[in-house]
Chains A and B, each alone.
Chain A
């Protein structure tokens, strides 16, 4: 019982209480750069989740063999390897997605979310737990990117997942939302809103006996 509960906790913490983008502000470069549409956000989220799960698994398996002095370079080589696999896979199977994400796929290597989870979690926990943790973080990251991408795509292009549902005659797209400035605005409002909700929830929780 205790085990199953902690598994659930390790998974759900990535979704809300330790959400990598909203709470930990990790991996902001891809978050800001590619979320100009919901589809781009989703593809980036899935690619990152793949790298996160694969590298967390390997790091957790080899944690006892890797000397502490060289753990960071070792982790980075492993992460870079999986990122390149993801990049090649996208190029071969989904060329349009690969094209729209451009250089941001190789840049997953320097996403501190992945190295962060390897260093903080996977190198200290069992393989199973590391996978659960990576999965939770990956889903949290992807979800946040899709939300950001959806808001920006709806307001900036009048469409969602490339499906245009707002006619240009009725709604003038806010071009700024698909430009870099829109990323900062949306992320700022999103974080502010979620912190506001969390603080309300927190104070209510304390008030209860």
Chain B
């Protein structure tokens, strides 16, 4: 069908407006659900890294980071009696192929970790993505973060601040240690400053 210029404009505009309208409605209907999913995932990760926690509150602090002011969210976990059982925070940084995002649980003494969960990663399947497996994650239970987390290749850790790197995925293991080290330092300094 041949069209005059005005016809072309009318058809394109009408299509765009109708599709835009449909999308607006769909998005409005789905948005609360998407937000709820995100919160649920966050909550699950927090309780996984702070096993004793029954409830948590969010502390938001704005601090100077590498790229100007950054917002840092720290989740303070409580047990049934309202005692602080630890702090959870999100640590993210570059891995082997993309960003690794983790939820880390910090002991209230600021010296040890309660545990760690990987939220997002795109490491090599079969090698780097073993960082999401329990065998690797269990090493972070009670791991000391001072002076810093160290990784060993093909050797059993001897000191309480060491983890064993995954065979064939040293870079991913190293990235995890590096990301947690830098973010833990920042979180500890924020928490100490606000005491």
Contact = CB atoms under 8 A, between A and B. Distances in A.
Contacts of B126: 156-157, 173, 175, 178-179
A138 B15 CA distance: 24
Given A70-B3, A173-B126, A91 B12 contact: no
B34 interface: yes
A66 B1 contact: yes
B117 to A, nearest CB: 14
Interface of A is mostly: helix
A50 to B, nearest CB: 13
Given A66-B1, A68-B3, A69-B3, A77 B125 contact: no
6 contacts: A66-B1, A74-B12, A78-B19, A88-B27, A95-B37, A179-B125
Interface in B7-59: 7-8, 11-12, 15-16, 19, 22-23, 26-27, 30, 33-34, 37, 41
B127 interface: yes
B1 A64 contact: yes
Q: Interface size for chain B: under 10, 10 to 19, 20 to 34, or 35 or more residues?
A: 20 to 34
Interface residues of A, number: 29
A170 to B, nearest CB: 17
A80 interface: yes
Contacts of B23: 81, 84-85
Interface in B89-121: 120
A3 B50 CA distance: 65
B2 interface: yes
Given A175-B126, A175-B127, 12 more contacts: A67-B1, A67-B7, A68-B2, A69-B3, A70-B8, A70-B11, A80-B19, A88-B34, A89-B26, A93-B33, A99-B120, A157-B125
Contacts of A68: 1-3
Interface string A72-100: 01100110110011001101110100010
A70 B12 contact: yes
A92 B31 CA distance: 7
Nearest to A178: B125
Nearest to B40: A95
B24 to A, nearest CB: 11
A205 B37 CA distance: 56
Interface of A: 36, 64-70, 73-74, 77-78, 80-81, 84-85, 88-89, 91-93, 95, 99, 156-157, 173, 175, 178-179
Given A67-B11, A73-B12, A74-B15, A85 B26 contact: yes
Contact of A36 (B30, B120, B125): B125
A12 B27 CA distance: 35
Given A74-B15, A78-B15, A67 B127 contact: no
Contacts of B182: none
Nearest to B124: A179
Contacts of A178: 125-126
A92 B19 contact: no
Q: Which 8 A-B pairs have the closest CB atoms?
A: A67-B3, A175-B126, A81-B19, A92-B33, A92-B30, A178-B125, A95-B37, A88-B30
Contacts of A74: 11-12, 15
Contact of A91 (B7, B22, B34): B34
Given A77-B19, A80-B19, A156 B34 contact: no
A92 B37 contact: yes
